[in-house]
Amino acid sequence: MRRGIPEGAPGHPRKSDPRTNPPHLTPLPRHRERRGTAEPDGPLAPARDSSSRGQPGESGRRGRPARGDSPLSGRAPVRQVPRILYEDEEIIAVDKPSGMPVIAADGSRARSLYDFITRHIRMSNPKGRAAVVHRIDRDTSGLVIFARSAATKRSLMGDWDRIVRERVYAAVVEGEMDEPSGRRESWLMENRGGTVYEVPAGTRGAKRAATRWQVRAHGSGRSLLELRLETGRKHQIRVQLAALGHPVAGDERYGARTDPLGRLALHAELIELVLPGRREALTIRCPVPPAFRAACEERVSRLPAAAPAAKRNGHPRHGDR
């Protein structure tokens, strides 16, 4: 320790130096500023839930990581804002984001499509309420129909199979199909864990399922399919495509090994129905996400041919190195 150095002179210890001052005089450490955690807020940004914020490096939700944060995909989270496609005095058609449930599970506080549509209805009718007519899987995106009243719901669900004339889905599947089109008919059962599987025809409790498919594009070891439902069974498309050896990309439950979109690559694209009391059919479309086709495009990297270096007096010019 140095002695005899006047205070303020070179070499004299500063009062804030923790090496020479007592602990009670040492300045408190500053909190480090987190980097990369700020998210831009815009008109389509989802509401934040302060009760579900994760720690730095997490996906923002405790428990299961968001699909968009999957290490298999390395992609950003998918859109989480529904979009109204069509509405009249009886029904509302909406584009549901992947990862949002149509109805929240019992005891869950997660945002659901039902809540979104109910809020939309109450903007014009404070006592109004959405009525669920049909559902699609939580991780499937695309077209869902809601009724504006319980009476409309009863009329639609009472004869749904006759009212709905066409249901079309789009899917990105692993591998390239052997044929340009085809049809799959099988019998499905569901176990206690909610997984559906095919069984022999005539199995007690099994339900018949039929799907027609057609290839729209293929490449990069994947195929983009158009799928038309003849029946509407739980997980019908996912189970039947997996049985064909071409599971839907991102569908871990039914054997997919890749996740190019960071989500289940299944989208409800079109529905055609004749509403009670109407003569003409109503066709509602929900555009397929551009990433579906992009996932099936061949990506070939080609380097341009090297140009000969210009020389002067046998030496390369400046900048040709």
Q: In the chain, what are the domains? A: 66-294 (3.30.2350.10)
Q: Is the pLDDT of residue 315 over 50?
A: no
Planar angle of CA 152, 234, 250, nearest 5 degrees: 120
Q: Is the pLDDT of residue 85 over 70?
A: yes
Return the structure tokens found at 278: 């109407």
- Burial of residue 143 (CB within 10 Å: 0-12, 13-18, 19+) is buried
Q: Is the pLDDT of residue 305 over 60?
A: no
Q: Is the pLDDT of residue 165 over 50?
A: yes
State whether residue 272 is helix, strand or coil.
Answer: strand
Report the alpha-carbon distance of residue 108 to residue 266 in Å, rounded. Answer: 24
In this predicted model, which residue has the larger pLDDT, 67 or 113? 113
Confidence at residue 129, expressed as pLDDT on a 0 to 100 scale: 87
Name the catalytic one among 95, 115, 137, 259.
137
**pTM of this prediction exceeds 0.85:** no
Active site residue 137: yes
State whether residue 70 is helix, strand or coil.
Answer: coil
Confidence at residue 106, expressed as pLDDT on a 0 to 100 scale: 80
Q: Is the pLDDT of residue 237 over 50?
A: yes
pLDDT tens readout for residues 19-55: 444 433 333 333 333 333 333 333 333 333 333 333 3
State whether residue 270 is helix, strand or coil.
Answer: strand
Q: Is the pLDDT of residue 61 over 60?
A: no
pLDDT tens readout for residues 95-153: 999 999 999 888 777 789 999 999 999 998 888 889 999 999 999 999 999 999 888 99
**Range list of H helices, 69-181:** 113-122, 150-157, 160-163
Mean pLDDT, rounded, of the chain: 77
